[in-house]
């Protein structure tokens, strides 16, 4: 049985109770304890800065040339926190409730409540760092709405919130680098965990500039390497985003939880052809003011501006009147797919729907006219003023859309379609964020913990910073308090030698295949299998086919992949090959997990399990658990279950109507 180590007592006091009784490390001992952090996005950078500030000796690793290039920078819309600045009824409990409900009752209550309770502290921390959040006229921080909520709790910095938050964390990290508490290893990739006496004691990393393998000791290792959405090839993730760090942890005994829980984001620029290597996200914040619609007539080829109002189907407002365009991501994505599959899609591919700001231009224009005492303003003047307001709130997003599509979204509605975005699955961790391997922790998107089967918008940034700034400094100390007598283990220890040899053998095997097909050839093939059979909808037959197809593709990969260049040099194709090899194993596990979970919940939609009106139908009696998979070897996994107990929020059929 998996022990989640959830503290006893009422949910609102569990975290305070934990902090009041966890073990501490005195400052002099912290200077002798070494911590390795893999990844320097929001979770990794905030953890490195916080632990460095406390006095630990921190080594931080990223495969980019700078922590500023972490994929957290791509988050656009905002970060949730229950500060109730709008006085619209928000509270810690309501944020907790919305997150558990939004995740379709597949998250651990205690972790989610802790996340909600520290959310306000994150905003204060970031403001103190100088993050330029949007503000109201009177000076208070501004909020906007996101999907799955009926309050305004999302703090934002135009359409570049992730970038600004990352710059705040990066500044804190670089301060510690300057003070000498953090050593930064950029252009390094972790390729294995080193375990000694069952505990994580270090890593093997490859210097991506020279190709040299390096051994690094740590009293603990933190995996903060993000999600695995690139298993689908086409996703909103940066092309470098991968699962390798988490997968090496899995191969060393850390259980991988809920791998089939992937999130499809409803607001992305549609695929334009086979030439694409990634997809572009248009922030969910656009659903705050934009209205989503399709023509009422099938196959309608008229321009959007030529379709009159009464011939438009605002299908989210029609189907979900209580939430309208702000239903959660999984609901909005499936609804868009259903309309397109039924023949109502727009654009040349017919795989898109409209996101229209015309009503927002008018609404904001009237407000501006009132402010300026322009009682007889013409419609043109009103729309012009409304557009100026939208430019201020979303301007960089509109500019990005125009650059990519060549269309002016101020004049014609955006076309959007769902795409793979975030992953709720990840390394299984307990309440302390520790995996099933002692001394090995996982933070942010790399762990499974807080979002259940579907993440609400603006909650990824919240979780990454909560884990790094406010959770790991306590929980890691609780573990390291028992490690203060352990001296730094020399890296010529047999366990380091064996781990490095294993990495060498793997790299040699890959480079010596000398096949005929590129790494991207196999990645694209894997992505197509995953999208077609483990994407927005899954069924038993398709998943069984996918498992066999992935096995065959993996066998072909190891026979026929072509990797130019050598081992001991900069070799991006070799980097990619290692990552795709890991995706080829993870993809199979995702399909195994999806096949095992014979219910629909959140982003996991099994066609055999749906309500009469096509909504996800959960099976709480049989599947109210976290599926934690133990790796025994390729295609060999053992399922462990962590039962989910709901004491505060009773599971019910999700309804946004």
Write the pLDDT tens digit of every residue in 196-237: 999 999 999 999 999 999 999 999 999 999 999 999 999 999
User: Which phi and psi (to 5°) does residue 236 adopt?
Assistant: -85, 0
- 625-633 and 440-442 beta bridge pairing: unpaired
Residue 129 has, within 13 A of its CA and on its CB side, a CA count of 23
| 507 and 398 in a common domain | no
- Spell out the alpha helix ranges (H) of 456-539: 460-465, 472-480, 494-511, 519-534
pLDDT digit string, tens, across residues 137-192? 889 999 999 988 999 999 999 889 999 999 999 999 999 999 999 999 999 999 99
Which of 290, 305, 306 is closest to 356 using CA atoms? Answer: 290
Identify whether 477 is part of a domain: no
| 412 and 311 in a common domain | yes
Identify whether 579 is part of a domain: yes
Q: Residues 247-252: what's their mean pLDDT?
A: 98
Is 542 a residue whose pLDDT tops 90?
yes
Query: d(Cα 623, Cα 232) in Å, to the nearest integer?
Result: 25
Contact 546, 591 (CB under 8 A): yes
Q: pTM higher than 0.85 for the full model?
A: yes
Please report where in the chains the tokens 């988490």 appear, as a residue: 246
Identify whether 304 is part of a domain: yes
Q: Residues 283-301: what's their mean pLDDT?
A: 93
Contact 604, 453 (CB under 8 A): yes
At residue 137, the pLDDT reads 87
Is 411 a residue whose pLDDT tops 80?
yes
Q: So which residues are the catalytic ones?
A: 329
Domain count, the chain: 2
Q: Residues 487-501: what's their mean pLDDT?
A: 98
Is 1 a residue whose pLDDT tops 80?
no
| 409 and 543 in a common domain | no
CATH number at residue 535: 1.20.58.100
Mean pLDDT of the chain: 96
Residue 274 pLDDT grade (very low, low, confident, very high; cuts 50, 70, 90): confident
Identify whether 552 is part of a domain: yes
At residue 367, the pLDDT reads 95
Residue 569 pLDDT grade (very low, low, confident, very high; cuts 50, 70, 90): very high
Query: d(Cα 355, Cα 26) in Å, to the nearest integer?
Result: 55
Is 394 a residue whose pLDDT tops 80?
yes
* Final residue belonging to a domain, choices 361, 391, 420: 420
* Final residue belonging to a domain, choices 362, 393, 420: 420
Identify whether 414 is part of a domain: yes
| 627 and 514 in a common domain | yes
- Whole-number Cα distances in Å, 588 to 85, 440, 518, 522, 574: 45, 24, 21, 14, 22
> What range defines the domain where residue 274 resides?
265-420
At residue 449, the pLDDT reads 82
* Final residue belonging to a domain, choices 394, 420, 446: 420
What is the DSSP code string of 234-294?
A: SSSS-TT--SHHHHHHHHTT--EE-TT-EEEEEEEPPP--TT-S---B--GGGGGT-EEEE
Residue 655 pLDDT grade (very low, low, confident, very high; cuts 50, 70, 90): confident
CATH number at residue 387: 3.90.700.10
At residue 172, the pLDDT reads 98
Identify whether 509 is part of a domain: yes
Distance of CA 105 to the CA centre of its chain: 18
pLDDT digit string, tens, across residues 190-204? 999 999 999 999 999
Identify whether 243 is part of a domain: no
Those residues with Cβ within 8 angstroms of residue 532's Cβ, 6 or more apart along the chain or in another chain? 542, 546
Identify whether 219 is part of a domain: no
H or E stretch including 195? strand 188-196
Q: Most distant CA pair in the chain: distance in Å? A: 83
Query: d(Cα 68, Cα 172) in Å, to the nearest integer?
Result: 12
| 638 and 549 in a common domain | yes
Those residues with Cβ within 8 angstroms of residue 613's Cβ, 6 or more apart along the chain or in another chain? none
| 394 and 280 in a common domain | yes
């Amino acid at each position: 049985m998996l022990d989640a180590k959830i503290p006893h007592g009422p949910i609102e006091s569990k975290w305070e109770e934990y902090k009041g009784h966890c073990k501490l490390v005195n400052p002099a001992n912290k200077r002798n304890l070494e911590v390795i952090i893999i990844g320097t996005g929001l979770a990794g950078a905030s953890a490195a800065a916080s632990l460095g500030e406390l006095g630990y000796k921190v080594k931080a690793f990223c495969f980019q040339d700078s922590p500023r290039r972490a994929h957290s920078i791509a988050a656009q819309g905002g970060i949730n926190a229950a500060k109730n600045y709008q006085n619209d009824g928000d509270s810690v409990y309501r944020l907790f409730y919305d997150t558990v409900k939004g995740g379709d009752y597949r998250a651990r209550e205690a972790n989610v409540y802790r996340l909600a309770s520290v959310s306000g502290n994150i905003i204060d921390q970031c403001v103190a760092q100088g993050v330029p959040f949007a503000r109201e006229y009177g000076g208070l921080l501004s909020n906007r709405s996101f999907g799955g909520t009926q309050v305004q709790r999302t703090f934002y910095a135009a359409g570049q919130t992730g970038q600004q938050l990352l710059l705040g964390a990066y500044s804190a990290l670089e301060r510690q680098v300057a003070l000498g508490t953090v050593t930064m290893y950029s252009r390094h990739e972790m390729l294995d965990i080193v375990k000694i006496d069952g505990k994580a004691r270090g890593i093997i990393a490859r210097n991506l500039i020279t190709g040299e393998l390096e051994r690094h000791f740590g009293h603990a290792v933190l995996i903060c390497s993000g999600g695995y959405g690139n298993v689908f090839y086409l996703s909103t993730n940066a092309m470098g985003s991968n699962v390798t760090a988490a997968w090496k942890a899995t191969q060393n005994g850390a259980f991988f939880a809920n791998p089939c829980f992937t999130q499809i984001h409803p607001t992305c620029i549609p695929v334009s052809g086979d030439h694409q290597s990634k997809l572009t996200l248009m922030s969910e914040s656009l659903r705050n003011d934009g209205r989503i619609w399709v023509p009422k007539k099938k196959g309608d080829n008229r321009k959007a501006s030529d379709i009159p109002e009464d011939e438009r189907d605002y299908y989210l407002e029609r189907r979900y009147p209580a939430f309208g365009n702000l239903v959660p991501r999984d609901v909005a994505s499936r609804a868009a797919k259903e309309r397109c599959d039924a023949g109502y899609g727009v654009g040349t591919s017919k795989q898109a729907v409209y996101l229209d700001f015309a009503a927002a231009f008018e609404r904001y224009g009237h407000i501006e006219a009132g402010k300026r005492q322009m009682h007889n303003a013409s419609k043109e003047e009103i729309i012009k003023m409304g557009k100026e307001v939208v430019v201020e709130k979303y301007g960089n997003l509109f500019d990005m859309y125009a650059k990519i599509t060549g269309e002016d979204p101020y004049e014609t509605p955006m076309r959007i379609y769902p795409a793979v975005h975030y992953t709720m699955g990840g390394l299984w961790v307990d309440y302390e964020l520790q995996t099933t391997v002692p001394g090995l922790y996982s933070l942010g998107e790399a762990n499974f913990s807080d979002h259940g089967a579907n993440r609400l918008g603006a909650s990824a940034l919240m979780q990454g910073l909560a884990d790094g700034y406010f959770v790991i400094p306590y929980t890691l100390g609780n573990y390291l308090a028992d490690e203060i007598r352990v001296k730094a283990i020399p890296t010529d220890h047999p366990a380091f030698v064996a781990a490095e040899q294993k990495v060498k053998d793997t790299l040699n095997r890959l480079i010596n295949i000398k096949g005929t097909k590129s790494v991207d050839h196999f990645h694209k093939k894997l992505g197509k299998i995953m999208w077609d059979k483990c994407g927005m909808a899954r069924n038993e037959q398709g998943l069984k086919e996918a498992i066999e197809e992935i096995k065959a593709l993996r066998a072909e990969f190891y026979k026929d992949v072509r990797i130019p260049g050598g081992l001991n040099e900069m070799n991006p194709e070799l980097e990619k090959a290692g990552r795709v090899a890991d995706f080829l194993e993870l993809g199979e596990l995702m399909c195994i997990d999806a096949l095992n979970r014979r219910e629909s919940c959140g982003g996991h939609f099994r066609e055999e399990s749906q309500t009469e009106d096509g909504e996800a139908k959960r099976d709480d009696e049989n599947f109210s658990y976290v599926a934690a998979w133990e790796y025994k070897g390729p295609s060999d996994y053992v399922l462990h279950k962590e039962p989910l107990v709901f004491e505060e929020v009773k599971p019910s059929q999700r309804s946004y109507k």
